[in-house]
Amino acid sequence: MSWSWMGADDGDGNAEENEGGNEMGYWGNKDSLIFLIDCSKSMFEGAKDEKPFQLCLKCAACTMKNKIIGSEKDFFGIVFFGTEKDQNPSNFKNIYIYQDLDMLDAQKILDVEDLLKDCDSFQDKYGHSSDFSLNDVLWTCSNMFSNSAMRNGHKRILLFTNNDDPHKNNQSLQRQAKTKATDLFDVGIDIELMPIKPRIGQFDTSLFYEHIVGEVDEIDRSTMPDPAEKFEELLTRVQKKQYKKRPLCRVPLQLGGGIGLGVSVFNLCRAAVKSSYVNLDSRINEEVKIVSKLVCKTTGVELLPTDLKYFQCFGGDKVVFEKEEVDAIKSAGDTGLTLLGFKPRSLLKRYHHIRPAQFIYPDEKSISGSSRLFTALLKKCSSKDLVAICRFIPRRGASLKLVALIPQEEELDEQNVQVSPPGFHLIFLPFADDLRKLSYEDAPRANDDQVEKAKDIIKALTSTFDPLDIENPSIQKHYNILEALALDKDAPENFEDFSEPNKVQIDARLGNLATEFNDLVFPEGYVHDGKGKKRKATTGGSSTSTKRTKNDDSNPVDVKEYATSGTLNKLTVPVLKEFVKSNDIKCGTKKAELIEGINLHLGLH
């Protein structure tokens, strides 16, 4: 399942620990990634800023910056092979461990950036050699994973090279490398090839590397991802915090009659926040531990939890409770979902949405057979277009909620890759006490001309929009400044604020529509009263009409002159309507129709 849920947060900022362990395999562990970079002479050939080795270092630097923000506890390492010098615990020749597999820090990123700026000195520091064994290279990476101090989760090796047949004339080394790659696959270490186009010809994976990254038949080879897309993905700066993929809670879903099933509740989406601040002691620069104590206001004696009581005011009196009594009052029943009945989906209104929805999926571990019963319920609700109404208590002490379960069947794309998982969206419903009746003041109604002009504006500015393409500018600015301070940069990197409107494009699409709309809604004679309303302007005790339906006699408009010069579109609709009415011209009420009718009347068409 390729789900995109966020971390375990209940929507109110209260994170819950997973009581039953990690349900999704390696998701609960830390990711371990090794950049395996070919340092043969051919990787340093090309233009000054387009050398393959420089491209690999750029990918490494971007990946490190993304990881140190998104998942700073993941492990990362860099290994060079094809070097003249060697540095590794097994003393393999032509293999240099540039950075051990460990957690990232600012200094490691600075080291990679310094090497990127000074690639010309690589020959003197490390040298080049084609006399290496890929079997020894993979063995070195395997030992790095094995010797890691933490429990590795997802283990990956990204292999960068522009040589599609490194052991062309040595069948023994080819066989050893293929065997070692198979062994790594068996122990859960993934090898992903990042091929770089050589200066002459194309990179042919069928010569050697298809046996290293896995067997590729003729059908699969045609659908392999473009290497350029892989590099573009690695070079993309995605400053985004990653959260553990774990359920918010595991609860039973009671259907009645003693029938129940286990479900896991997930958050599909939640607001991203900046990392929290930590207090440091200014003298020793170490983290300060905050200890809170309750002290009696009268005596100054420190209070123990047993010394505390709670009260609520009722009728002017303090009603005192013990802590156990408060807990009993808060308890509204057993935790879980309890089915109350079914309703047509059409009865669920937009204004019923009071907080972000959650998602439930069957939990086979808690109750055996939950998946089969859950699937039957899902299919039946989908076929009948029904929603299940339930009472929901997520955990002990939590308040009771009314929820609606909206079915969602599995969706697959053309390659049979899951787009949407099967399950129920858990929609929180309001109680009768939560709904309010609002009264609105009478407001002016728009006429047909104003409505049509507004439609034209909406049509002109309508475009495709996806909120997932817009990053939070506040968070991006925070991370850029934090990165600049940690890496001793003079200024933070510039980032593009996609929430800023494109004024040039908007003006080009609108043309004169905005001016025409403003003339229709706020014609001459309107004056703002400072309270968000428009009032009539007064001159010498008399007021002008709220609509300009007649031309000012002191400044008459020569419509014929405008028509002759082809500038009728500069006149407002009321002026055009007045001319049409006075000359008994039969035409529509839209501005374009008025202009067409006047031109026909004057014989200009």
Could you tell me the mean pLDDT of each successive run of 10 residues in the chain, 605 residues long?
36 40 44 90 78 87 84 87 90 91 89 87 87 90 84 81 85 88 88 83 81 54 50 63 73 90 88 83 89 89 88 88 84 87 92 90 88 92 94 88 93 81 93 86 84 92 82 85 83 81 87 88 66 46 38 63 82 86 84 85 77
- Residue 533 host element (H or E): none
In DSSP notation, 215-269 reads ---HHHHHTPPPHHHHHHHHHS-----------SEEEEEEEETTEEEEEEEE-S-
Pairing of strands 152-161, 310-314: unpaired
Cβ partners under 8 Å of residue 53, min gap 6: 37, 39, 43, 44, 119, 122
Predicted pLDDT at 223: 41
Range 170-205 burial, b when 16+ CB lie within 10 A, else e: eeebbebbbebbeebeeeebebebbbbebeeeebeb
Pairing of strands 189-195, 152-161: parallel
Q: How many residues does the chain have?
A: 605
Closest alpha carbon to 159 in 122, 189, 201, 131:
189
Partners of 69 in the beta sheet?
A: none
Burial of 405 (0-12, 13-18, 19+ CB in 10 A): buried
Predicted pLDDT at 588: 81
CA distances 250 to 8, 11, 405, 485, 527, Å, are 11, 16, 16, 42, 61
Predicted pLDDT at 66: 82
Predicted pLDDT at 528: 55
Partners of 543 in the beta sheet?
A: 538
Closest alpha carbon to 263 in 374, 382, 418:
374
Please report the sign of the dihedral spanned by the C-alpha atoms of residue 113, residue 119, residue 121, residue 122: positive
